[in-house]
Amino acid sequence: MSVKALVDTGATDTVIPRKVAEELQLPVTGKSVVLTARGSVELDECIGVVEIMGRRRTISMLISDEISITLIGVTALELLRLEVDPVTGRLKEGVALLF
């Protein structure tokens, strides 16, 4: 399934609308309490495959009843080896940091 998504560099996790999770039949694997602009909320968790710019990884995601667009958090970007170019605001290839 292709979906429009917003890269949110202020978010740790990737969040998908419940409608997307249900359409893809992604099973709930747990729950997570997260801090949002509205305060703390408990969201269902699932695992799915995300592909951006030809890079594909299995990613843990949160499921929200509140949002209508997928939000890509920094954890997914790091796993996909992508980063936001601060000049253009677009995604670009990144590198893994191992120290």
Answer for the pair 12, 61: CB distance below 8 angstroms, yes or no: no
Tokens standing for residue 49: 């495959």
Supply the pTM of this predicted model. 0.90
Domains of the chain: 5-88 (2.40.70.10)
For each of the chain's 99 residues, which pLDDT tens digit applies? 999 999 999 999 999 999 999 999 999 999 999 998 889 999 999 999 999 999 999 999 999 999 999 999 999 999 999 999 999 999 999 987 777
pLDDT of residue 37: 82
pLDDT of residue 65: 95
| Contacts with 7 (C-beta within 8 Å, 6 or more apart), sequence order | 71, 72, 77, 84, 91
pLDDT of residue 20: 97
The single residue listed with the structure tokens 């997914």 is 76
